[in-house]
Amino acid sequence: PTGLHPRYRFDSFIKGASNELAASAAMAASDAPGTRFNPLFIYGGVGLGKTHLLHGIGHELHRKDPSLRIVYLSAEHFMNEFVTAVRNNQFDEFRARYRKDCDCLLIDDIQFIAGRDRTMDEFFHVFNALYEAGKQIVVTSDRVPADMPGMEARLTSRLNWGLVADVQPPDLETRIAIVQAKAERDGMELPAEVCLTIAELVRSNVRELEGALLRVTAFAQLRGVAIDKAFVESVLGKRRVDKTPITIEAVQKAVAGYYSVRISDLKGKRRHRGISRPRMVAMYLCRQLTDSSFPEIGMRFGGKDHSTVINACKRIAALQEDDEELRGAVESLRGQLAS
Ligand code: ADP
Ligand code: MG
């Protein structure tokens, strides 16, 4: 189908905890379009695979039934088409294309039309026509429906009718799997240690990960050298090169020193604010600066439950908003630990 990227298929999409729900829902929607997960709304930060999944649905539907009329386009493109149709008096064609001659509508980056009244209005009617005809609708966005200023309430509500699924930044294991898969796809064999190093240094999103892999392999080729851990670090690693990764112990020691409390207090149970505040800061920094999971951090703080750690992290993140002193403490500790 037109507009679909040949590479964005389900079989090249790596599933992990961070995207499990969205990926499974995308597959389910292409197994039984227009039924349970309709509309399907996928949201999350940039470079996390939303567009890839959207195209994957299109490819999969087409594979199963080539007669299906699949329409993929970005919300921006939708708006441009609409404006052109209005200007050229081709509204009937426009209406036919999106409301009638369409079995599955895949709309990317819907947040774009928030605040554009006439486009929202038109999309509303397209949505209703397709939904009532039992056609599958899939929409992506960089945030949840309720969080789009300028989006009409009736549209927001419809976008919430089906399943709303998020994509999160990938964890370490998923990042490693993605690097391995991309390298393999390009016919390269990278040592496990190299994949690990790239995955450790690039944490933000998958697009960055792809860029990093390309940079490493291109540089190696240009310089005619083999790719090993040290080479990867020299290409990518300004920050972490030759530095040992930050450990939970290091965080606990720094926080204890900063607040003049004992490490055993951080691991203990005392609720007194002079202790519980440093403890929460320590948990927060462990989560931010190490690769440790919530349960692991809990364990290393005297066997606490993962929910305690999650709450501490949320608390510190929220408190920092208007507590300048706390913000200063966190920044100072972060700097101390990173140097
Ligand atoms: P978004 O639309 O969320 O900004 P994209 O779908 O454009 O992100 O993904 C950015 C790049 O990362 C694309 O090249 C895509 O193929 C790749 N990508 C994202 N997530 C995955 C994944 N889980 N497995 C494999 N490739 C992925
Ligand atoms: Mg996208």
338 pLDDT higher than 80: no
Query: What is the per-residue pLDDT for 238?
Result: 56
**Range 199-205 average pLDDT:** 91
Query: What is the per-residue pLDDT for 240?
Result: 46
The full length of the chain comes to 339
State which of 44-48, 221-225, 235-239 shows the largest mean pLDDT. Answer: 44-48
ipTM: 0.99
Residues 230 and 313 in one domain: no
43 pocket-lining for ligand 1 (C-beta < 6 Å):
no
Instruction: Kindly tell me the burial class for residue 15, based on how many C-beta atoms sit within 10 Å of its own C-beta (0-12, 13-18, 19 or more).
Output: middle
Cα 152 to ligand 1 centre (Å): 29
Note the Cα 146 to chain centre separation in Å: 18
Do the Cβ atoms of 190 and 184 come closer than 8 Å?
Answer: no
Rounded Cα distance, 78 and 73, in Å? 7
Q: How confident is the model at residue 241 (pLDDT cuts 50, 70, 90)?
A: very low
Q: Can you tell me whether residue 290 is helix, strand or coil?
A: coil
Do the Cβ atoms of 87 and 61 come closer than 8 Å?
Answer: no
**Range 33-52 average pLDDT:** 95
Q: Is residue 79 part of a domain?
A: yes
Do the Cβ atoms of 58 and 4 come closer than 8 Å?
Answer: yes
Rounded Cα distance, 78 and 102, in Å? 14
**Domain of residue 128, residue span:** 10-167
Tens digit of pLDDT for each residue in 123-158?
A: 999 999 999 999 999 999 999 998 898 999 999 999
Residue 97: which CATH number?
3.40.50.300
Percent helix, strand, coil in the chain, to 5, is 60, 10, 30
Q: How confident is the model at residue 257 (pLDDT cuts 50, 70, 90)?
A: very high
Q: Is residue 322 part of a domain?
A: yes
Cα 24 to ligand 1 centre (Å): 15
DSSP letter assigned to residue 45: S
Query: What is the per-residue pLDDT for 10?
Result: 97
Residues 63 and 33 in one domain: yes
Report residue 151: phi and psi, to 5°.
Answer: -85, 135
**Range 202-213 average pLDDT:** 92
Cβ neighbours of 205 (radius 10 Å): 20
Residue 206: which CATH number?
1.10.8.60
* Among candidate residues 104, 139, 125, the one with its CA nearest the CA of residue 31: 104
Task: Look at the chain and report how many structural domains it folds into.
Answer: 3
Q: Which residue's alpha carbon is at the smallest distance from atom 20 of ligand 1?
A: 49
Sign of the CA dihedral running 163, 44, 246, 193: positive
Query: What is the per-residue pLDDT for 152?
Result: 94
Do the Cβ atoms of 10 and 59 come closer than 8 Å?
Answer: yes
236 pLDDT higher than 80: yes
Q: Which residue's alpha carbon is at the smallest distance from atom 26 of ligand 1?
A: 13
Rounded Cα distance, 279 and 267, in Å? 8
55 pocket-lining for ligand 1 (C-beta < 6 Å):
no
Ligand nearest to the CA of 110: 2
206 pocket-lining for ligand 1 (C-beta < 6 Å):
yes
* Among candidate residues 134, 21, 118, 4, the one with its CA nearest the CA of residue 62: 4
Residues 203 and 109 in one domain: no
Residues 227 and 326 in one domain: no
19 pocket-lining for ligand 1 (C-beta < 6 Å):
yes
Could you give the percent of the chain with pLDDT greater than 70?
97
Question: Is 140 annotated as contributing to ligand binding?
Answer: no
Q: Is residue 335 part of a domain?
A: no
Which amino acid would we find at residue 163?
L
Is residue 73 within a helix (H) or strand (E), and if so which, with residue range? strand 70-74
74 pLDDT higher than 70: yes
Query: What is the per-residue pLDDT for 232?
Result: 93
**Range 224-234 average pLDDT:** 91
Report residue 289: phi and psi, to 5°.
Answer: -105, -15
| pTM, rounded to two decimals | 0.73
Q: Is residue 178 part of a domain?
A: yes
Question: Is 50 annotated as contributing to ligand binding?
Answer: yes
Q: How confident is the model at residue 83 (pLDDT cuts 50, 70, 90)?
A: very high
